[in-house]
Structure 1
Amino acid sequence: MEVTMLLLSLLLFLNSFNHFRFAATARTLFTDETDLLALLAFKDGITSDPSGVLSTWNATTHFCGWEGVTCGRKHQQRVIALDLSSRGLVGSLTPAIGNLTFLRKINLQNNSFFDSIPSHIGHLHRLQRLNLSFNSFVRGIPVELSNCSDLRRLDLSNNPLAGRIPHELRSLTKLEYLLLETNNITGVIPPWIGNLSSLLVLTLYSNSLEGSIPEELGNLANLRFFQVSANLLSGIIPLRLYNFSYLYLFNVAGNQLQGSLPPTLGNTLPRLNYLCLGGNRFEGPIPASLGNATGIVDLDVYENNFSGQVPSNLGRLQGLYHINLGSNQLEASHANGWAFIDSLTNCSFLQILGLNINLLGGILPKSITNLSIELQLLTVESNHISGNIPSGIENLFNLYALGFENNLLTGNIPEDIGKLHMLQVLSLGRNRLTGTLPSSLGNLTQLNRLYLDSNAFEGPIPSSLGNLQHLADLHLSQNNLSGSIPNEIFNLSFLSNYMDFSDNYLTGELPLDVGSMVNVRALVFSGNKLSGEIPGTFGNCEVLEYLFVDNNFLQGTIPPSLGDIKALQYLDLSHNNLSGPIPELLENLHLLEYLNLSFNHLDGAVPTKGIFNNAPAISLIGNYGLCGGIPELHFPACPKKSSEKSGRSHLVRVLIPIISAILCLTPIFLLVFLYWKQKPRKDTRSPASSLDDKYPKISYRELAEATDGFSSTNLIGTGRYGSVYKGSLLHDDAAVAVKVFNLQQLGAIKSFIAECDALRIIRHRNLVKIITLCSSVDFRGDDFKALVFEFMPNGSLEDWLHPGINEQRMMNSLNLLQRLNIAIDVAEALDYLHHNCQPPVVHCDLKPGNVLLDADMVARVGDFGLAKILCEAMSMSLQNSANSTDVIRGTIGYVAPEYGAGGQISTSGDVYSYGFLLLEIFTGKRPVDDAFRNGLTLDSFVKMAFPDRIEEIIDPLLLIQDDDDPRGSTTRSLHQCLVAVIRVGLLCSTLSPGERMNMRDVATEMHAIRNAYFGRSES
């Protein structure tokens, strides 16, 4: 009986256990299915997955093992975290994400999600961290987020979100991080934010917020990070905001705030590291208590109305590396006013000291030469400083910019200034300096800009300036310099901007070596005592835009070679002793806007074409031997050269032998004509004829054998007008790239002709080298055209910036120095095309796919199928607009906006393309990235973070420590380098062509950036 009862009890227990296990299994299956379906819906919303991260989301693995998905321990089958940051995902965020009800963390930052943020996220009551930054979410912030009552971190920064900050978010009382920067948020800063007592970080940077900063924000006692810069805020900062004892960043720059700073500021913000108040309307003194906030490393109060003396105790900020007090009304008239310099000698990390555009007077203290040896920029320009340049300035041997311009300095330039070997900019112009120019200036071999104008320097120009091979600007005007200009200066072939010697007492002749300055844009010799003739070698200065040699004692004739300076815009030869006729070749200077030849001894007929047909643009007065010209010039008519009778007799003497010769040659002409009629006709318009004499042709058979019959396995890439194959020429086994044109494609022939014409006149280390060409027929008798180039084993820049789905980007990424080198190589190539080719060449299709990399990672620009030779492009622009079918067909995203409006082809169009290429190299984003919608573009995306938050928009791979960086760059130097590069990109990509840099200046600037952060490394 007992055994029977025991068995019965066991059966009942097993039955209950199985029922329990079945119920648990059912619940598991149900929850599994809910999360699984939500994740699959998320995947369905993705339209592009370049990194292939979602390829792991398949049936072979449980979703808890999918990449980016984390399941909890307590609830083993429930998703608690979704982290797919920086994977390049493109698509919309599915509303089904609201079904992942156990989610605590969502991180989708730095992708390309678009459309609106789904309100269903409000169903995630366990959510603690939501990061959707650096995407393209639009419309407003969903009010349903207020239901996520456990939310600790909300990061929606760097999206084009619009509208106001929802009032409903006031219920998120556990919020510690609120990041809404770089959006299109409008309205005011809500006062209820002051009730979020747990808030540690508040950043509303770069929006369109207006009104005042609410008093209620003073309740945020735990705040560490307060950033509301680049808005439209006004009024006075509430005093309670200056009492956050834990605050380490206080940034309100770029608003319309006013008022004065509390005198106790440094006491009430003892942990402050960054104080950024620039670009506002603050006034009053800078509080001396700042010296008590000893953690400050960045003090920027630029462009306000601060007055009084600079606090003398700033040296207590021993970690200070950046101090910018420029564009205020700060004063110093005696030693006490300059005591802050004595104090700053304690700041051993100081790199930047900006004191320009103030009311500082008196004499610079000797202690300025004892500032940190880390100092890179020192500018005190546009003040009232007197006395001498302090001796010992050479102690600051890491300076790359020294600005003393526009003061009242006297005395000589110290000889030891030549020891500042890192110096790139020396600005001493508009002072009262005297004495001779020290020869030691020639030791500043890194110097890029030298401004010594408007002083009282005397004596000769030192020949040692010829050592400054990196010099782009040289200004020596308005001094008392005498003697001849050293020949060595005219061998500064790198000098690409201005060389100004005007208003001195220089004598002697201009040497023939002046023609060596093939890169210079402006030469100014006005107001001197130069004699002799104008050198004909000026015609070699092909990119010269401004030539002023007026008010000298030049004689002889105007050399016709001046007509070869096709870029010339302003020419002034007035007030000299020039004689003879005006060269007719000056008519061909189509860019010439101003011509002054007045007060010379010119004679003969005045030309009537070109600029000579524009009376307001020329001045010829004081030349009493001139005649003719257009009526508006009011010169007398020129006398006839000969009588009518002598003309007839001369005509007879000329025509008789010509007629006799024609009669003798007629039978020969007839035979040639008959031969030509019987000969089989061929296409005499060979597009390759321009290259025939330079590169030998190759047969179709040889190319077919070299590429294994143009096999698909040898296909490198395809383009609009054809395909490129890798091949190997049999005679020397050299690897080549064969570009075969698809002649069935409309425009392919024209592209072939354009590329041949361009390749005929160009040759540079940063251009793809052409080996030979083929203009023949294939085995079927059809026309065949191809170009053969040197093979580039490292592919294109496109391959490195945007590798395919199956490629590992981390393994195939470029470090900072490599990207700099590539950008410099491309700049050098365009500089050559624009400024050294004759005539200049406009590439018209610059993009990463047309930048190739050789075995040493040297960049080569290729594909000249859309290139235009500038003189040809100019003549086209003068034709009737009926020619509009011949438009620029560059790649969308890189084409200059003026081309779309029918503007003239110009080198500035290439500059625009280069600007976007540069931004793409350093952000890793294409101009046509799907993230750029609703008016957002690559350049506006960059501008929103420039310069303070530049790290947030650059390629994240650049933030990884770079083992190839020879200097082991710190985060700070990385930031400075990136800011300098991105600045160039933005200056090149401006909408107005006239505001863009030219490629000569771009190349100079990029070299200077590399030298500043990597020394003189070229690798």
Structure 2
Amino acid sequence: MGSFNLSGPISPSLGNLSFLREVHLDINWLTGEIPPQLSRLGRLEFLNLSSNQLHGGIPASFGTTMANLYILDLQENRLSGEIPVSLASLPSIGFLFLYSNMLTGKIPPELGNLTGLMHLDLMESMLSGPIPPSLGTLSSLVWLSLANNTLGGEIPASIWNVSSLWGINVQQNNLTGAIPADAFGKLGNLVSVTMDNNRFHGHLPASLANATQLQLLQLGPNPFTGVVPRQIGALTKLQWLLLSNTLIGAEEPADWEFLKAMANCSQLLTLDLTAGRFAGVLPASSLSNLSSSLQTLYLPYNMISGALPEDIGNLVSLQSLVLDSNSFTGALPPSLGRLQKLRLLSASENTLSGSIPFSIGNLTELTTLNIKANFFRGALPSTLGNLTKLLELRLGRNYLTGLVPGALFSITTLSIALDLSHNSFAGQIPEVIGNLINLVEFHAESNNFTGEIPDRLGECQLLQYLYLQNNFLSGTIPSLLGQLRGLQYLDLSSNNLSGLIPLFFGNFGMLSYLNLSFNNFAGEVPSVGAFTNASAFSVQGNGQLCGGIPDLHLPLCSHQSPKREHKHFVIPIVLSLIATLAVLALLYKLCSWHKTSTTNSTSTTSMQGHPLISYVQLVKATDGFSAANLLGSGSFASVYKGELDGQAGESKRLVAVKVLKLHTPKALKSFAAECEALRSMRHRNLLKIVTICSSIDNRGDDFKAIVYDFMTNGTLEGWLHPDTTVDSEQRYLNLSQRVTILLDVAYALDYLHCHGPTPVVHCDLKSSNVLLDADMVAHVGDFGLAKILVERSSSSDQPTSSMGFRGTAGYAAPEYGAGNMVTTHGDIYSYGVLVLETVTGRRPTDSESRHGLGLREYADRALRNSTPMDAVDTQLSMDLDNQLHTTSDASSYKRMADCIASLLTLGLSCTQESPSRRTPTISSRSCMPSRILSWANMRSVMLNRRFLLLVCGLWS
């Protein structure tokens, strides 16, 4: 019945058809709850209700009467509640599919009674608690899928004894522990193991060699350590080896033996070693002897050195080759031209040199070529024009010279980006650039381009980002650029451009950054659109400009100067104009009020990928922005708790609505900064934005708000410094929770600085901006002061912009008070303050400092006196003392004391006065979880979610 497009609720009368053996109502639009009457179908063997919109609980009666049920498929619905224990009474069940629902609670241990169960799929719900050891008694189990839940604890040892298993999938949970040395000794039938995105640790066992049928092994991200065992070469059927974002690595030649052994893995399709600890020279022959069927090779964000293997062209099936952020040297081997199936070639941020080989033109399937930030020299080969499928070409930050071949601009597929920046290209930008009608981002800054801006650039009507600064361009701005109405960023600074500033720039509704400084522009500066916001454009260094908004402090243009002989004519004309404008303004207000009161979507906008929302909807959600829903108020905004109506059949959604105080100076700039910073950011530990609202309120005034997911457990500040007059119960964080929250924040910083779409400095990291969800997972929020690094440089010391004091007193880096540049070091300082505050329970601005010491001095004194426990928050200290008295385990107490010392040391290290002495230092060559925060010698701090717990001895 799945092909009939059924809708509505399931009729309870279906339960009267007692003769039925099969019911298939999958892939329909069925709604409502599952009728308990279906349990009357005592002869039923197959019940398939998957891929509908059913909600409510799973009827407990299913397990009591359906003695013949063999397949129960309820996946991809909206079922909630706990898994009924009664399902463990289904004597004939072989397949239980509950995948992709909203089930909660623990996995019933009683499921271990289903001796005939072969396939158990509980993926993508909200299940918690441990994996029941009783599942290890399911001797017929072939497939165990528990991924994408919040399960904790270790994988029970009994699971590793189920010799019938073909697949184990526990990815995206909170599981811990090590893989036992003999784990794979009895799993000779195993085909697939996915354990990524948990907290597993320890070494990879050599017993992997027993899983001779294994095809997929996905273990990262996890804090596994050690090396890849050479026994992995026994897995001759292995197709995917995914070890990204682990602490597994190689330093000595012997550590790379696994790569030589993997020549036996003749079916290998993907090898992913991203962001590990692989160092030293890559064994050339071992790499080029890998399977000729290899399609994907990922080695970025490691410390691998030496030249690329000359015979890399042997990997003739390769489709993706990613080598970014290593220390590879030498030239690109000519044999690359043999990889004619290659679609992605990325080797940015290395020390590759020489010229770009002509053979690269043979890679006609390439869609992405990224070799920026290397030491390539010479002219571009004309054969680049052969790459007719390119979507993205990045050649910036090299030493390339000569003319840009016109053939490059015939690649009409170029759409994502063309980056020629920071080279020494000369000559004119060819007119044929107009062929790139789909181009979104064009970087030609910091070259030696001369001549005029080509007219045909205006034909690239999808352009959003155009950077031509720091060249020798001359002439006027072509009028055809007026067609680029989607422009968001335009930088023409530091050229020899002249003439008038075109008025059409003011009509670009998306334009948020315009830099025309240091040219020879003359005449009047427009006063419309982008030119009304002094922070959105720059015209400094043009000596003959006049007019514009008052903030520019430019002289009046000649036509603006009053003339005495016409004074008696001017006054009545001006008065008439003022009166007319006043009437028009009044009419506009009346129309705005009327329109606002009659529509729910007045002038609303939304961030891309988020649903539209109106002012009226937010009024309803927050009960008219009532004081009862006010969560807090700051300089630029007030935050309200709200409840948005869900889609059809969905429950309401709790949100936090941040309403901008537009009358406050710089509030609009804060709104723009936050929207821009979060526009394309996606990370587990960043506060999730639902949408924005830019509209008009019921008084006709501008209204702007940002809507976030509501964080049930409030802010970290509220837990560290509870208001006892408000909080009905005393809230408390134990040591493990504090460490985990600090790891969450470190993850967020790592993503912002190094792994997001563009590097971002938060500039206001503090405990009140760290929010906690229902599972106590930390999310960094409030990006109103964030600064986006326009260019990722080779050093974290690269400035973004000069400014005055930025951030919050006590958390802000000392160099910000002196008006220095924004850098990632500032966030590291704030992170260090946050660490000290979290451990000591003291605010960095406490006026009643114990012993008359500031927060940093207080922590430093405790360490110097070898009394770190004296600096601990009172509640935390009492908790640790209670544990000592309860368990009498002195060694456990010592581990915790050592943990406190480690945390204090980390906080002190990150809050050094000099930015260059702060650890960790974050640079583009060390932006990866395994290198940002290494604890052993305090050079950096590992951003592995369990590293502090490991160091502190809290991980059982």
Q: Which TM-score bucket, shorter chain as reference?
A: 0.5 to 0.7
Distance 1:95 1:551, change over 3 A: closer
Distance 1:432 1:115, change over 3 A: same
| CA displacement at 1:331 relative to structure 2 | 0.6
Aligned twin of 1:480: 399
Distance 1:880 1:515, change over 3 A: farther
Distance 1:88 1:537, change over 3 A: closer
Aligned twin of 2:303: 384
**Residue 217 in structure 1 maps to residue 217 in structure 2:** no
Distance (whole Å) between structure 1 residues aligned to residue 537 and residue 396 of structure 2: 25
Distance 1:236 1:628, change over 3 A: same
Distance (whole Å) between structure 1 residues aligned to residue 503 and residue 10 of structure 2: 69
Q: 1:350 aligns with which of 264, 268, 273?
A: 268
Q: 2:337 aligns with which of 418, 421, 438?
A: 418
**Residue 617 in structure 1 maps to residue 617 in structure 2:** no
Distance 1:460 1:647, change over 3 A: farther
Alignment of 1:533-552 (within 5 A): 533-552=452-471
**Residue 934 in structure 1 maps to residue 649 in structure 2:** yes
Per-residue CA deviation, residues 872-927 of structure 1 (Å, 9 max, x unaligned), is xxxx9xx95756789999xxxxx997456489xxxxxxxxxxxxxxxxxxxxxxxx
Distance (whole Å) between structure 2 residues aligned to residue 373 and residue 638 of structure 1: 71
For 1:194, what is the secondary structure of its paired residue? helix
Distance (whole Å) between structure 1 residues aligned to residue 34 and residue 509 of structure 2: 56
For 1:520, what is the secondary structure of its paired residue? coil
Distance 1:122 1:361, change over 3 A: same
Per-residue CA deviation, residues 937-971 of structure 1 (Å, 9 max, x unaligned), is 9xxxxxxxxxxxxxxxxxxxxxxxxxxxxxxxxxx
For 1:161, what is the secondary structure of its paired residue? strand
Distance 1:580 1:320, change over 3 A: same
**Residue 635 in structure 1 maps to residue 554 in structure 2:** yes
For 1:626, what is the secondary structure of its paired residue? strand
Aligned twin of 1:598: 517
**Residue 428 in structure 1 maps to residue 347 in structure 2:** yes
Aligned twin of 1:142: 59
Q: 1:251 aligns with which of 169, 178, 186?
A: 169
Distance (whole Å) between structure 2 residues aligned to residue 124 and residue 532 of structure 1: 82
Q: 1:194 aligns with which of 112, 127, 138?
A: 112
For 2:356, what is the secondary structure of its paired residue? coil
Distance (whole Å) between structure 2 residues aligned to residue 134 and residue 647 of structure 1: 79
Contact (CA 8 Å) 1:563, 1:587: kept in 2 or not?
Answer: no
Per-residue CA deviation, residues 390-447 of structure 1 (Å, 9 max, x unaligned), is 1122222222211011111000011121222221111011100000111122221221
**Residue 301 in structure 1 maps to residue 219 in structure 2:** yes
Distance 1:249 1:539, change over 3 A: same
Contact (CA 8 Å) 2:186, 2:210: kept in 1 or not?
Answer: no
Amino acid at match of 1:331: G
For 2:54, what is the secondary structure of its paired residue? coil
Aligned twin of 1:161: 79
For 2:201, what is the secondary structure of its paired residue? strand
Amino acid at match of 1:364: L
Aligned twin of 2:47: 130
Distance 1:882 1:375, change over 3 A: farther
Distance (whole Å) between structure 2 residues aligned to residue 601 and residue 97 of structure 1: 81
- Aligned-residue CA RMSD in angstroms? 3.3
| CA displacement at 1:115 relative to structure 2 | 2.9
Q: 1:121 aligns with which of 24, 38, 46?
A: 38
Distance 1:94 1:629, change over 3 A: closer
Normalized against structure 1, the TM-score is what?
0.55
Distance (whole Å) between structure 2 residues aligned to residue 641 and residue 193 of structure 1: 84
Alignment of 1:460-471 (within 5 A): 460-471=379-390
Aligned twin of 1:561: 480
Aligned twin of 2:423: 504
Distance 1:125 1:395, change over 3 A: same
Contact (CA 8 Å) 1:136, 1:933: kept in 2 or not?
Answer: no
Alignment of 1:813-828 (within 5 A): none
Alignment of 1:203-352 (within 5 A): 203-352=121-270
Q: 1:492 aligns with which of 411, 431, 435?
A: 411
Aligned twin of 2:6: 89
Per-residue CA deviation, residues 337-384 of structure 1 (Å, 9 max, x unaligned), is 222222222222222221111111122222222222222211111111
Aligned twin of 2:98: 180
Distance 1:173 1:614, change over 3 A: same
Q: Looking at CA atoms only, which structure, 1 or 2, has the larger radius of gyration?
A: 1
Contact (CA 8 Å) 2:428, 2:449: kept in 1 or not?
Answer: yes
Identify which range, 229-238 or 332-341, moves more after superposition: 332-341
Per-residue CA deviation, residues 810-847 of structure 1 (Å, 9 max, x unaligned), is xxxxxxxxxxxxxxxxxxxxxxxxxxxxxxxxxxxxxx
Aligned twin of 1:1009: none
Alignment of 1:416-815 (within 5 A): 416-639=335-558
Distance 1:291 1:993, change over 3 A: farther
| CA displacement at 1:292 relative to structure 2 | 1.2
| CA displacement at 1:496 relative to structure 2 | 1.1
Distance 1:896 1:192, change over 3 A: closer
Distance 1:882 1:225, change over 3 A: same
| CA displacement at 1:593 relative to structure 2 | 1.5
Distance (whole Å) between structure 1 residues aligned to residue 423 and residue 37 of structure 2: 76
Distance 1:127 1:595, change over 3 A: closer
Amino acid at match of 1:391: E
Distance (whole Å) between structure 2 residues aligned to residue 106 and residue 519 of structure 1: 50
Distance (whole Å) between structure 2 residues aligned to residue 403 and residue 881 of structure 1: 56
Identify which range, 512-521 or 629-638, moves more after superposition: 512-521
| CA displacement at 1:597 relative to structure 2 | 1.6
For 1:267, what is the secondary structure of its paired residue? coil
Distance (whole Å) between structure 2 residues aligned to residue 600 and residue 513 of structure 1: 25
Distance (whole Å) between structure 2 residues aligned to residue 592 and residue 85 of structure 1: 49
Stretches of structure 2 lacking an aligned partner (at least 5 in a row): 568-587, 603-607, 617-646, 653-681, 683-688, 694-705, 707-756, 758-956
Identify which range, 446-455 or 565-574, moves more after superposition: 565-574
Distance (whole Å) between structure 1 residues aligned to residue 476 and residue 595 of structure 2: 42
Identify which range, 468-477 or 634-643, moves more after superposition: 634-643
Amino acid at match of 2:107: I
For 1:234, what is the secondary structure of its paired residue? strand
Between the two proteins, the alignment pairs up a number of residues equal to: 602
Contact (CA 8 Å) 1:378, 1:401: kept in 2 or not?
Answer: yes
Normalized against structure 2, the TM-score is what?
0.59
Amino acid at match of 1:303: P
Distance (whole Å) between structure 2 residues aligned to residue 158 and residue 936 of structure 1: 17
For 2:442, what is the secondary structure of its paired residue? strand
Q: 2:280 aligns with which of 340, 362, 368?
A: 362
For 2:462, what is the secondary structure of its paired residue? coil
For 1:133, what is the secondary structure of its paired residue? coil
Contact (CA 8 Å) 2:137, 2:162: kept in 1 or not?
Answer: no
Stretches of structure 1 lacking an aligned partner (at least 5 in a row): 1-83, 649-875, 890-894, 904-931, 938-982, 984-989, 999-1019
Contact (CA 8 Å) 2:613, 2:691: kept in 1 or not?
Answer: no
Distance (whole Å) between structure 1 residues aligned to residue 54 and residue 434 of structure 2: 57
Alignment of 1:96-107 (within 5 A): 96-107=13-24
Per-residue CA deviation, residues 270-321 of structure 1 (Å, 9 max, x unaligned), is 2111111111111111112111110111111121111111121222222222
Amino acid at match of 2:85: H
Distance (whole Å) between structure 2 residues aligned to residue 993 and residue 391 of structure 1: 52
Distance (whole Å) between structure 2 residues aligned to residue 280 and residue 258 of structure 1: 7
Amino acid at match of 1:135: N
